[in-house]
Amino acid sequence: MEITDFSQPIRQSAKGIIVIFAFNLLKFFKKFVVFFIAFGIQVIRKKSFGGVTPTMIYLGLIAMLVLILIIAILKYFNFKFHLSKDDFHLATGIINKDNIIIPKSKIQNVYIKQNFLQQIINVVSVKIETAGDKKSEIEISALDKRTALLLKKKLFNKTTSISGELEQVESIEEPEVFFKVTPKRLFLEGLSQNHFKSFLLIITFSYGLYSELKDFLKELDLEKHVDGLVELDEATILNLIITNVIIVIGVVLISFLFSIVKTFIINFNLEVVEHQKTIEINKGLFNKVSLSLTPSRIQNLVITTNRVKQYFGLHSLSVKQAMVNVKQQKNFNIVALEKEQLNYLVNKLISNYSEDQGEIAKPRPYFMRITTLEMLVFGSVINGLSLAIFGIEMLWINAVFIPVAALYIYFAYKKAYYKISENFVTIGSGVIDTTTNILEIHKIQGVKLKQTIFQRPRDIASLVISTASKSVTIPYISKSEALIIYDFLLYKVESQDRDWM
Amino acid sequence: MNFTNPQIQTEDLPNIEDVVLKPISKSYLKIITLNRLAFYSLILGAVFGLKYLIKEDGFQDNFWLVFIGVIVICIANFIISILAFKKRKYAVRGYDVIYAKGLIIHSIITVPISRIQHVEESRSWLARHLGLSTLKIFTAGEAGSDLSIKGLQQLEAKGINDFISAKVNGNN
pLDDT given for residue A166 in this prediction:
44
Angle at A303 between CA A267 and CA A190, to 5 degrees: 35
Q: Does residue B75 sit within a domain?
A: yes
What pLDDT, on a 0 to 100 scale, did the predictor assign at position A134?
A: 60
Same domain for B102 and B158? yes
Domain end call among B84, B119, B151: B84
Residue A326 pLDDT more than 70?
Answer: no
Contact check, Cβ <8 Å, B145/A488: no
The CATH number of residue B152's host domain is 2.30.29.30
Mean pLDDT for A413-440 is 91
Beta strand A424-429 with A433-440 is antiparallel
Number of domains in chain B: 2
Task: Give the mean pLDDT of B54-71.
Answer: 83
Residue B122 domain-assigned?
yes
Name the DSSP letter for residue A4.
Answer: -
**Same domain for B80 and B93:** no
- Which of A451, A452, A470 minimises the CB distance to B142? A470
Q: What is the overall mean pLDDT for chain A?
A: 82
User: Same domain, yes or no, for B72 and B99?
Assistant: no
User: Residue B13: inside a domain, yes or no?
Assistant: no
Residue A290's H or E segment, with its range, is strand A288-293
Residue B5: closest CA among chain A residues belongs to which residue?
A: A422
pLDDT given at position B133: 92
In a domain, B11, yes or no: no
Taking alpha carbons only, the member of B99, B77, B78 closest to residue B149 is B99
Distance from CA of A157 to the nearest CA of B (A): 22
B52–chain A nearest CA distance, Å: 31
Q: Has residue B48 been placed in a domain? A: yes
In Å, what is the CA distance from A355 to each residue of A320, A424, A475, B47? Answer: 20, 10, 21, 58
Q: How far apart are CA A337 and CA A189, in angstroms?
A: 10
Dihedral, CA of residue A196, residue A197, residue A201 and residue A203, to nearest 10? 10
What mean pLDDT do residues B21-32 have? 92
The minimum CA-CA distance between B109 and chain A, rounded to whole Å, is 4
If asked whether residues B153 and B123 sit together in one domain, one would say yes
Domain identity same for B128 and B155: yes
Query: Do B50 and B96 fall into the same domain?
Result: no
pLDDT tens-place string over residues A285-312? 888 888 888 888 888 899 998 888 888 8
Q: Is the pLDDT of residue A224 over 60?
A: no
User: Model confidence at B5, in pLDDT bands (50, 70, 90)?
Assistant: low
Find the length of chain A. 501
pLDDT of residue A358: 77
Which is more confident, B50 or A479? A479
Do B161 and B96 sit in the same domain of this protein? yes
Q: Which domain holds residue B123?
A: 89-171
* pLDDT of the residue at A387: 83
Residues B35 and B64 occupy one common structural domain: yes
Residue with more model confidence, B172 or A151: A151
* Helices assigned H by DSSP within A47-103: 54-77
Picking from A155-159, A239-243, B110-114, which range would have the lowest pLDDT averaged per residue? Answer: A155-159
Same domain, B66 and B124: no
Across A479-500, average pLDDT: 89
Distances (CA, A) of B157 to A283, B150, B153, B170: 51, 10, 6, 20
Of A468, A483, A488, the CB nearest to B17: A483
pLDDT at A258: 85
Does the pLDDT value for residue B162 go beyond 80? yes
Asked if A131 and A468 count as a contact pair (C-beta separation under 8 A), the reply is yes
Residue A170 has pLDDT above 50, yes or no: no
Last residue of some domain: B84, B106, B130?
B84
Return the percentage of chain B with pLDDT > 90, whole number.
Answer: 50
Question: Does B69 map to a domain?
Answer: yes
Amino acid (1-letter code) at residue A212: E
Q: Nearest residue on chain B to A444, judged by CA atoms?
A: B115
Q: Are residues B98 and B162 in the same domain?
A: yes
Residues B154 and B118 occupy one common structural domain = yes
Q: How many CA atoms lie within 13 A of A237 on its CB side?
A: 3
Concatenated DSSP letters of A155-208: HH--SHHHHHHHHHHHHHS--EEEEE--HHHHHHHHHTS-THHHHHHHHHHHHH
Which residues in chain A touch residue B112, judged by CB atoms under 8 angstroms apart? 444-446, 490, 493-494
A92-123 residue pLDDT tens: 888 888 888 888 887 888 888 888 888 888 88
**Sign of torsion over alpha carbons A437, A441, A444, A447:** positive
Domain identity same for B71 and B104: no
Query: Residue B17: inside a domain, yes or no?
Result: no
Of the ranges A130-134, A202-206, B108-112, the best mean pLDDT one = B108-112
Q: Is the pLDDT of residue B109 over 90?
A: yes
CB contact under 8 A, B141 and A486: no
Identify the residue with better confidence: A287 or A231: A287
Model-level ipTM above the cut of 0.90:
no
Q: Is the confidence at residue A50, as pLDDT, over 70?
A: no
Q: What is the pLDDT of residues A369-404, one digit of tens each?
A: 999 999 999 999 988 888 887 777 777 778 888 999
C-alpha–C-alpha distance, residues B52 and A483, integer Å: 54
The answer to whether A491 contacts B14, with C-beta atoms less than 8 Å apart, is yes
**Is A484 in Cβ contact with B110 (below 8 Å)?**
no
| Any domain includes B5 | no
Query: What's the gap in Å between the CA of B58 and the closest CA on chain A?
Result: 21
| Ordered DSSP codes for B137-155 | EEESSSGGG-EEEEEEEHH
Segment B101-129 mean pLDDT? 90
Given CB atoms, is B13 within the 8 Å cutoff of chain A?
yes
- B6 touching A (Cβ < 8 Å): no
Residue A406 near residue A416 (C-beta atoms within 8 A)? no
Dump pLDDT digits (tens) for A248-260.
888 888 888 888 8
Out of B62, B84, B106, pick the residue that ends a domain.
Answer: B84
